[in-house]
Amino acid sequence: MSKKHHITTIVNGDEYEALCETRHTLLDVLRDELRLTGTKEGCATGDCGACSVMMDGRLVCSCLVLAVEADGKSIDTIEGMASGNELHPLQTKFLELNGLQCGICTPGFLIAARALLERNPDPTESEARYWLAGNLCRCTGYDKIIRAVLSAAAEMRGA
Amino acid sequence: MTTILKKPGFNPDRKYKIIGTSPVKHDGFDKVTGRAKFAADAFLPGMLVGKVLRSPHPHAILKRIDTTQASKVPGVKAIITRDDFPEIKQGTGGGDMTRLAMAREKVYWEGHPVAAVAATSESAAKKALKLIEVEYEVLPHVIDPVEAMSPDAPILHDYMRTKGAKGPDAEKPTNVVERHALGIGDVDKGFAEADVIVEGTFDTKPMHQGYIELQSCVANYSDDGQVDLWCCTQAPWVYRDRLTEILKIESSKIRIQQSELGGGFGGKTTFYLEPLSVVLSRKAKCPVKMTLTRVEVMRATGPVSGTQSTIKMGCKKDGTIVAVDSTLVFQTGPYTGSAFTNAPQAMLTRYDLKNVRTVSYEVVSNRPKVSSFRAPCVPQVVFGVEGLIDELATKIGMDPIEMRLKNAIVEGHKTIYGETFNRIGFVETLEAAKACDHYRAPVPKGQARGIACGFWFNRGGETTGSMNLAPDGTVTITLGTADVAGSRMSMAMMAAEELGIPVDRVRAVLADTHSLGYNRVTAGSRTTFSSGIIVVDSARKIITELCRRAAKIWNVPEEGVVFEDGVCRPASSNVGEFEPLSIKDIAHKTTYTMGSISGHSEMNVTGAGPGFAVHIVDVEVDKETGLTSVKRYTIIEDAGKAISPAQVEGQFQGAAVQGIGWALNEEYVYGSDGRLQNPGFLDYRMPVASDVPMIDTVIVEVPNPKHPFGLRGVGEVPLTPAMAAIGNAIGHAIGIRPRSLPMSPPKVLAIIEEARARGVLPAG
Ligand code: FES
Ligand code: FES
């Protein structure tokens, strides 16, 4: 058995420690060690966005980040998106506008969409489509996802 | 016959309170917070990790497997091979199934399982896989179905003879599983009446369902022989019965609990890891979790049939289609199971045709066994059928929707496969298409428009379910069908409507296989229809019981109580003066009346209403690169009655975008070595958000009188015409209609050059 590494990360504001092999990804550790299974694996090659998380404020595919790279970093996952009982406006709009069918892609879309709205509070439809082009959804045809994102953006701007 | 099937109680004048609204799905909350538990999200104490060793060859004799070295790897707890599975005769259903799960005499595709390991870590399991020695005798392979039919093709199964074949060839080993002929009238006579005849050969490439959730399962085989299995599936009872068949474990000892299902589209109707994890768990005496990688999903699970259709069609000048002749070839994997007979039955069912001949062949090949995908085998053939109708319409100068209206079927039509249709809405759907904004808008400059129509039977079948009334007046439903996109919510809505209570007082959950009787696979667009009937039937049983309890409380005869708007009241003033009793009032008193109240229902549901759709699409084709962009897309479809319109729209929109992917991009690419060259999302490119426009929808509602609320299935119809509509639009853009999927840039560019050479497209 190869030697394990000890890593410490802040996940959704709380400090976590984990032991991991060199080959383990951040996604592996989030899911299998910390049991934060809201972050999903759809490909493990950076092509589906189901594993999207924020690392030190940057949107990343957690399947492309080695767990040891996350040592000392701050990670935000879907489990931390709502504040207390209050859903994030994106979560509310996904629910209200049926922006999810099976829901396996939903955490990734929500994390990626929040990152979009943080840097561009008023995206056009086309900007939203291109920003979210790294997230695959096979159920919805994207229509209601894009509408939910634009509608949440409007609400957050107070428009 | 069960009463509700005879008397569904459909009332066209009924005013709905809940049905037709789109409340937030109950299961949505856990899905937006990351708490929903999908297959790979389960963990058990002491759980091991299972991994599969797969064949690198598409066709080979499996001569020897040696696991000696592998079993010495620290952490390895069990290794299984063919020797761990009971022998079942080749060429039988069970024999095919066990060989698909684990190779026996031969491997039949690149990715065919040959061994599996359970270990304390994934690293240990992978290390062991590398140390398993396998000796293969490589054989020539065949993947293309037309090549597989040729007399000198490599034969997959020496024992195979073509079912339905006649003549000397019928006795020879073959790759053709079955020859199936279906037709009516006299085709030659029909063509003699034609003013215009068109024909063509169309081919479609194999592709994948593309669900985002990787298959995963956790099996626990306890010391007394009980199996607990957690997995993502569209068919828990089917999985159970198949496990019984191939592992010889009694059904009562196998309890399957379905997880949240992260997409299936037909691809999760067949098991892959489940038998392996059960056998590994039995051998290792620990729970075993197995999860496929995306590469494994692409190489070794449910692809969709590649096809070739040769079709000839003739019509009169007035647009009447007088004859259709067709030869259809369907690829399956190493074993039968493509459901190819759907195609000849469905391909023309929407037109009133007097003379049709179809001959269909199902052909084995060195690929994983194909699995269902939305209207299995139908969209591929509709690509050809609707393409030729469009050519005929162009030739006779008729509007494409008028041409379809001219031939459209109505109530009372007897289909080619013998069913006579009740109320159907094809004409209404075509009229709605004609009237919609998209069709009435002029085609924008530089773009072209295509339309196509599709049909799917919609299914019923064996279904069970239970409904329980709690003492506080709330209701829970236990469902036997899987929830592939929100059906739990539709069930809660139907129950609430029938019981006259708010939908938030109803919760629907998915049963395990011990809790209910057998349920047919969740497929065929049967869920909301079939389980909907079960739910309404259960609610009606509860209502009958509520009236009985009210009668007891009031001490009046049962006939003296009626149930209206969620309350029991005296049928007339003759019965006496009583305050109405709500469901809650009665539920609260069940302890003092006759105990708890529940409704249960099980039946082989019949009466599914067929569905029809029209797709309209505007495309722009870049004449320099051959790239097609979809600019506008509208689906018009008869849903009978949309229980939750937002969910129905979602079905239409998702199918349209799957169709866009299939039409323009998606295809399995095999090397000459028979290995898949694009087993990942980078090279097998499904549409992303920036590839597609908003998808507009028009829900037509021609009620199905066989359902209490008039609904029809909507899951499969909306894929059937998609590639044809896009093909027709491209044809109008470049002068020649493509006949091969995907209509990718290099292929379209070649057609543009041909069109220019033929003078049907001006030089660029
Ligand atoms: S799992 Fe990371 S991008 Fe697909
Ligand atoms: S909702 Fe199923 S993949 Fe997006």
Q: Encode burial over A32-69: b for 16+ CB neighbours within 10 A, e otherwise.
A: bbbebbbbbbbbbebbbbbbbbbbeeebbbbbebbbbe
User: Domain boundary at A27, A46, A80, which?
Assistant: A80
Q: What is the pLDDT of residue B2?
A: 62
Best residue for ligand 1 mutational test, from A24, A60, A63, A78 (most atoms within 8 Å of Cβ):
A63
Which stretches of B625-740 are DSSP H helices?
645-664, 722-734
Residue A17 shares a structural domain with residue A75: yes
Q: What is the pLDDT of residue A2?
A: 64
Which of A2, A98, A124 to probe the B interface (max B CBs under 10 A)?
A: A98
Q: Do A136 and B650 touch (CB under 8 A)?
A: no
Indicate whether B346 pLDDT > 90: yes
Residue A97 shares a structural domain with residue A54: no
Q: Which domains does chain B have, with CATH numbers?
A: 28-36+460-605 (3.30.365.10), 40-140+209-300 (3.90.1170.50), 415-456+610-757 (3.30.365.10)
Q: Which residues of A fall within a CB distance of 8 Å from B126? A: none
Model confidence pLDDT, tens digit, residues B753-763 = 999 999 999 98
Residue in B655, B680, B692 nearest the CB of A43: B680
Q: Which residues of B fall within a CB distance of 8 Å from A97? A: 646
Indicate whether B1 pLDDT > 60: no
CB atoms within 10 A of CB A27: 21
Q: In angstroms, what is the span from residue B374 Cα to ligand 1's centroid?
A: 25
Evaluate: CB of A47 within 6 angstroms of ligand 1. Answer: yes
CB atoms within 10 A of CB B749: 18
CATH label of the domain that carries residue A46:
3.10.20.30
Q: In angstroms, what is the span from residue B652 Cα to ligand 2's centroid?
A: 14
The mean pLDDT of chain B is 97
User: Domain boundary at A80, A107, A124, which?
Assistant: A80
Q: Which residues of A fall within a CB distance of 8 Å from B32? A: 78, 81, 87, 91, 94-95, 100, 103, 106-107, 110
Evaluate: CB of A42 within 6 angstroms of ligand 1. Answer: yes
Indicate whether B325 pLDDT > 90: yes
Q: Is A144 within 8 Å of B695 (Cβ atoms)?
A: no
Q: In angstroms, what is the span from residue B365 Cα to ligand 2's centroid?
A: 31
Model confidence pLDDT, tens digit, residues B249-272 = 999 999 999 999 999 999 999 999
Residue A152 shares a structural domain with residue A108: yes
Can you say whether residue A76 is alpha, beta or left, with left for phi > 0 and alpha for psi between -120 and 50 degrees? beta
* B671 CB-contact burial (10 Å; exposed 0-12 / middle 13-18 / buried 19+): exposed
Residue A105 shares a structural domain with residue A128: yes
Give the residue among B569, B573, B533 at the shortest CA–CA distance from B554. B569
> What number of residues does chain A have?
159
Evaluate: CB of A146 within 6 angstroms of ligand 2. Answer: no
Residue A76 shares a structural domain with residue A95: no
- Tell me which H or E stretch contains B283: helix B274-284
CATH label of the domain that carries residue A142:
1.10.150.120
Q: Do A97 and B682 touch (CB under 8 A)?
A: no
Model confidence pLDDT, tens digit, residues B102-124 = 999 999 999 999 999 999 999 99
Residue A68 shares a structural domain with residue A15: yes
Q: What is the pLDDT of residue B578?
A: 95
Residue A60 shares a structural domain with residue A100: no
Residue A10 shares a structural domain with residue A66: yes
For the residues B628-654, what does the mean pLDDT come to?
A: 98
Q: Do B650 and A142 touch (CB under 8 A)?
A: no
CA distances from B81 to B102, B104, B133, B250, B547 (A): 7, 9, 12, 22, 60
Q: Do B75 and A133 touch (CB under 8 A)?
A: no
Q: What is the pLDDT of residue A85?
A: 87
Domain count, chain A: 2
Q: In angstroms, what is the span from residue B439 Cα to ligand 2's centroid?
A: 30
Indicate whether B591 pLDDT > 90: no
Evaluate: CB of A105 within 6 angstroms of ligand 2. Answer: yes
Residue in B75, B210, B680 nearest the CB of A138: B210
Q: In angstroms, what is the span from residue B716 Cα to ligand 2's centroid?
A: 17
Q: What is the pLDDT of residue A84?
A: 86
Q: Do B681 and A96 touch (CB under 8 A)?
A: no
**Of the given ranges (A122-126, B570-574, B721-725), which has the lowest mean pLDDT?**
B570-574
Q: Do A95 and B24 touch (CB under 8 A)?
A: yes
Can you say whether residue B722 is alpha, beta or left, with left for phi > 0 and alpha for psi between -120 and 50 degrees? alpha
Evaluate: CB of A65 within 6 angstroms of ligand 1. Answer: no
Q: Which ligand has its closest atom nearest to the C-alpha of A63?
A: 1
- Interatomic CA distance for residues B566 and B583, integer angstroms: 6
Percentage of chain B modeled with pLDDT above 70: 100
Residue A73 shares a structural domain with residue A110: no
Residue A100 shares a structural domain with residue A44: no
For the residues A82-89, what does the mean pLDDT come to?
A: 94
Residue A71 shares a structural domain with residue A17: yes
Indicate whether B384 pLDDT > 60: yes
Q: Which ligand has its closest atom nearest to the C-alpha of B483?
A: 2
Model confidence pLDDT, tens digit, residues B401-418 = 999 999 999 999 999 999
Give the residue among B588, B557, B591 at the shortest CA–CA distance from B574. B557
What is the DSSP secondary structure assignment for residue B415, as one 8-state letter?
P
Give the domain extent around A129.
Answer: 89-157
User: Domain boundary at A63, A80, A97, which?
Assistant: A80
Residue A118 shares a structural domain with residue A69: no
Task: With a threshold of 0.90, tell me whether the complex ipTM lies above it.
Answer: yes
Name the pLDDT band for B12 (thresholds 50, 70, 90). very high
